[in-house]
Amino acid sequence: KSGRELGTFCFQDTGVGKSSIVCRFVQDHFDHNISPTIGASFLTKTVPCGHELHKFLIWDTAGQERFHSLAPMYYRGSAAAVIVYDITKLDSFQTLKKWVKELKEHGPEDIVVAIAGNKNDLGDIREVPMKEAKEFAESIAAIFIETSARNAVNVEELFQKISKQIPPLENPEVDSNDSFKLTRQPAPSARRCC
Amino acid sequence: MAAEDLPSEFDVVILGTGLTESVAAAAFSRVGQRVLHVDRRSYYAGNWASFTFSGLLTWIQQHHEEPLPEEAQDWSSLLEEGEELIHLSHSDCASIRNLQVFCFTSEEDEEEEAPNTTEEETGGAAEDSECADSTEEETKETGEEEEEVREEEEVREEEQTTPSAALRQSEPTKKKISYAQLLKEGRRFNIDLVSKLMYSRGSLVDLLIKSNVSRYAEFKNVTRILTYRDRQVEQVPCSRADVFASRQLSVVEKRKLMRFLTSCVEETEEQRAYNGRPYLEFLRDRQLGDNLQHFLLHSIAMVTEDTPTEEGLASTRHFLRCLGRYGNTPFLFPVYGLGEIPQCFCRMCAVFGGIYCLRHSVDGVVVDRDSNRCKAVIDSRGQRITCSHFVVEEGYVAADRKRVATPTRFLSRAVLITDGSILPSDSDQQVSMVTVPPIAAGCPAVKMVELCSSTMTCMPGTYLVHLTCQSVGSAYEDLSPVVTRMFRTPESHDQETCPSVLWCLYFNMTDGSGLEAEGHNLPSNVYVCSGPDGDLGHELAIRQAESIFQKILPEEDFCPPAPNPEDIIYDGDNTSSSAGGEEEKEENDGVAEEEKQEEEKEMLEEEKEMLEEEKEMLEEEKEMLEEEKEVLEEQNLQTEE
Ligand SMILES: Cc1cc2nc3c(=O)[nH]c(=O)nc-3n(C[C@H](O)[C@H](O)[C@H](O)COP(=O)(O)OP(=O)(O)OC[C@H]3O[C@@H](n4cnc5c(N)ncnc54)[C@H](O)[C@@H]3O)c2cc1C
Ligand SMILES: Nc1nc2c(ncn2[C@@H]2O[C@H](COP(=O)(O)OP(=O)(O)O)[C@@H](O)[C@H]2O)c(=O)[nH]1
Ligand SMILES: [Mg+2]
């Protein structure tokens, strides 16, 4: 099987459970007081998908979303975006629409968008009806699922759905053009272009 | 949005998200300072920002609007005994002026325009009449600009009388991209307000690598260096390989150039004798010939005719040092544009707990009268935020409080979207640095950067061209003569082979190098950062950020490496517990790792030098063989005769 890296990022306002979902997916772990100092550049997890292995590189925001100040550089080159809202907070569903707009403006064109209604273990204090959210997701051709990071409900499924929607790689050669990261060692230098 | 309140105490408050401020923010946050980083704008990077096409149109519009009269809010209720308030400026307009926009392509796709006409034919009348509307619409600003439009229309009328529809051949050519298409594909553009390149051994690249901020961005090599000379665009051979491969240079010139480049690596008595005298004179006396002299002065040293020799030689050495680290030229360019770089540093700051607020400003600085120190700031929502230090971009500081060079210096900028490369080659994905010496006496030397679509700064099928110079007049006055000569616009004549300008923008920006380092009328714990300067590299901004950091925290390391994600091991369920201790360990690891890597780097560099020497020898041998071959060929010819 061939491996493939999928840049994915999670966003929405603070408190909806982004970090908890990521933590549940990658480490199958839930912590009530998730600490911002855990410190990982991005968390990774590999999921088999057909003939490919999809390695999710999940970027969590470093808190820049707290005051609606996420830098556009977060979206660069991402294959998928997960927009999380809290089903017990109508507000979080309203700001979701703002994030969708932001994504349409700044995100990559062919990005796969998934909407996750988190904390569905708290159904008795629900403020966002599932039907309404589902219809909204359909209207923007996004994946929709309700999750609970706490009870490990549908978190795996969320990423599987994303995995299925990622278009197969067309031409891996063209894709890897000559941009590179700067490292301490001199880069594989002078790949001449002419 | 549910307005969350900001914490009311920080170590450092930073206003402005330009490069200098962002580097400082990352540095402070990295060593554990509590940082609040705000910007009154809705985007990151201030005058260092890059925009999508529509984003740029919005920016243009904002800078055309009359600034609202600034009425200072009365925050006196937030002040205590013995305190006073220094008001900060809110207007964004002072640093940008003389904006002019021209659209030279059709507003909409014109279906009836047969796609099968030759370049020459479409070049003249047909196109020009198409774009009349959009040009007018774009430039309805000031009276001055209206004049410009009229001038263009005259040109157009003249051209329309020339018979153009004579022969319509069936040779298919690509249709010119319309304004509607530019708008539609606008997200593919990342148009920088400043135009700079990164020297592969410059302080920015070193800092990105040292701090690990480099992990947030990707880069491309500038693939070639061009120069404009005798109305021609030529490629400048700059590496040894280039020199040997060059078809423009004779064997004698090649040898002279090689010898010169080798000789100037070390400082010699001979060179010192020219200190204070123009570099041009030094070059002349080396009897290199016009070709080489031009390349060396304008494209390699990138100095003017009166730059002193020691400065010219220093630039030449810097250029040579930067060659071959990553590619064939000394320069790198970040994918998605330069505006990414400040964002990368902001991200590093956020990772270490820095708090970010755009659309949020600081209204005033609370000063303790006795100590003349800043105790707190009042933000634009009237919250008093205590801080030990305040770092601020110069644009926010009132003119009477800062010391700047007089008269104010400006940079002239032009941004063009074109439909072809200025020097077409086998690959249509070249990134070119172009030096344009003054086209007439008294005109400025222009630096030009041509970006292709794979840099993710423009849509496929177009090129993004940035022109920059020290302003003499307005940006339009300084740069449009160069544009008209090197590109096809309605004003240019017989330039059928040049790429067409589809859309362009001219503006002036305050030159950040005019800000004095010291002597501002501000409390001692307020630090002013300058905006972008006109240099090609980023030395000023990085130097300034480091010096501010060292003034505040002289004992601390500036941007030590952040730990690598690979080094952080998640041992199953014990993930979030030991955060504090772990962090320290990681930091130490980081330092040790850095030392190891430094050593490795040095070894590699030594090895490289040896290899290079070897290569040089081989190349010399090759050169000799080539000469021999030439002689033999000549003999051959003679025997044939
Ligand atoms: C499940 C999870 C949830 C998280 N939630 C948050 C959150 O809500 N808010 C938040 O600000 N960060 C949070 N983090 C921290 C997270 O490490 C990064 O902020 C984020 O993943 C993106 O940073 P990066 O890729 O640039 O990290 P990297 O560049 O890899 O980070 C480099 C190093 O910085 C250190 N570091 C990272 N974050 C901090 C911090 N906040 N304080 C001190 N040191 C740090 C760590 O040692 C880390 O290894 C979370 C991390 C995880 C794993
Ligand atoms: N009941 C419940 N609480 C959750 C769930 N997911 C997250 N939380 C809680 O919501 C709060 C915010 O979560 P966090 O992951 O930090 O949100 P973030 O700011 O979006 O990253 C934390 O107190 C979590 O414990 C869930 O599925 N169910
Ligand atoms: Mg979080």
- DSSP per position, B494-561: S-TTSPBEEEEEEEEEE-GGGB-SS--SS-TTEEEE----SSSS-HHHHHHHHHHHHHH-TTS-SSPP
CATH label of the domain that carries residue B227: 1.10.405.10
In a domain, B627, yes or no: no
B350 plus B294 within the same structural domain: no
B391 plus B534 within the same structural domain: yes
Q: Report CB contact under 8 Å: A193, B326.
A: no
B257 plus B317 within the same structural domain: yes
CATH label of the domain that carries residue B54: 3.50.50.60
Structure-token pair, residue B211: 């701090």
In a domain, B257, yes or no: yes
Structure-token pair, residue A96: 């979701």
B504, B531, B565: which is the final residue of a domain?
Answer: B565
Structure-token pair, residue A177: 């053009």
DSSP type of residue A186: P
Q: Tens of pLDDT along A101-120?
A: 888 877 888 889 999 999 99
In a domain, B224, yes or no: yes
Q: Report CB contact under 8 Å: B187, A72.
A: no
B90 plus B24 within the same structural domain: yes
Identify the domain containing residue B384 by its residue range: 9-95+337-405+515-565
Distances in Å between the alpha carbon of B584 and those of B572, B580, B589?
21, 7, 9
pLDDT score for B394: 93
Q: Tens of pLDDT along B98-148?
A: 999 999 999 887 654 444 433 333 333 333 434 434 444 444 444 444 444
In a domain, B91, yes or no: yes
Taking contacts as CB-CB distances below 8 angstroms, the residues of chain A near B328 are 190, 192
Q: Does residue A16 have its Cβ closer than 6 Å to ligand 2?
A: yes
Least confident interval from B106-120, B306-320, B378-392: B106-120
CB A149 within 8 A of CB A17: yes
B341 plus B326 within the same structural domain: no
Which bin fits B367, alpha (ψ -120 to 50), beta or left (φ > 0)? beta
pLDDT confidence of B449, banded at 50, 70, 90?
A: very high
B356 plus B227 within the same structural domain: no
Q: How far apart are CA A111 and CA A92, in angstroms?
A: 22
Q: Does residue A54 have its Cβ closer than 6 Å to ligand 2?
A: no
Q: How far apart are CA B208 and CA B332, in angstroms?
A: 13
pLDDT confidence of A84, banded at 50, 70, 90?
A: very high
**How far, in Å, from the CA of A49 to the mean position of ligand 2?**
28
Distances in Å between the alpha carbon of B356 and those of A65, A186, B349, B350, B560?
8, 34, 9, 7, 21
**Burial (CB count within 10 angstroms: exposed 0-12, middle 13-18, buried 19+), residue B360:** buried
**How far, in Å, from the CA of A68 to the mean position of ligand 1?**
18
**What is the average pLDDT across B235-259?**
84
In a domain, B628, yes or no: no
Least confident interval from A29-43, B12-26, B380-394: A29-43
In a domain, B357, yes or no: yes
pLDDT at B588 over 50: no
Q: Write out the E strands in A24-179.
A: 43-49, 52-59, 80-86, 112-118, 143-146
Q: How far apart are CA B496 and CA A29, in angstroms?
A: 66
Q: Report CB contact under 8 Å: B355, A184.
A: no
β-pairing verdict for B35-38 and B9-15: parallel
Say whether residue A62 is in contact with chain B using an 8 A CB cutoff: yes
Least confident interval from B2-16, B521-535, B599-613: B599-613
Least confident interval from A82-86, B451-455, B493-497: B493-497
B317, B332, B347: which is the final residue of a domain?
Answer: B332
B355 plus B322 within the same structural domain: no
| Count of structural domains, chain B | 2
B280 plus B315 within the same structural domain: yes
B351 plus B290 within the same structural domain: no
- Is the model more confident about B628 or about B486? B486
B284, B313, B332: which is the final residue of a domain?
Answer: B332
pLDDT confidence of B300, banded at 50, 70, 90?
A: very high
**How far, in Å, from the CA of B520 to the mean position of ligand 2?**
48
Taking contacts as CB-CB distances below 8 angstroms, the residues of chain B near A42 are 565
Distance (Å) from the C-alpha of residue B521 to the closest C-alpha of chain A?
A: 32
Say whether residue B563 is in contact with chain A using an 8 A CB cutoff: yes
Q: Report CB contact under 8 Å: A67, B356.
A: yes
In a domain, B498, yes or no: no
Say whether residue A141 is in contact with chain B using an 8 A CB cutoff: no
Structure-token pair, residue B486: 């090197």
Q: Tens of pLDDT along B19-51?
A: 999 999 999 999 999 999 999 999 999 999 999
CA A46 to chain centre: 14
Q: Could you say which ligand is closest to the alpha carbon of residue A73?
A: 1
Q: Tens of pLDDT along B347-360?
A: 999 888 899 999 99
Q: Report CB contact under 8 Å: B579, A37.
A: yes
Structure-token pair, residue B295: 């390349």
Say whether residue A143 is in contact with chain B using an 8 A CB cutoff: no
Please tell me the pTM assigned to this model.
0.81
B373 plus B358 within the same structural domain: yes
Which helix (H) or strand (E) segment holds residue B303: the answer is none
Chain B residue nearest residue A63, CA to CA = B350
B395 plus B522 within the same structural domain: yes
- Is the model more confident about B136 or about B286? B286
B224 plus B317 within the same structural domain: yes
Angle subtended at Cα B616 by Cα B611 and Cα B619, rounded to the nearest 5 degrees: 125
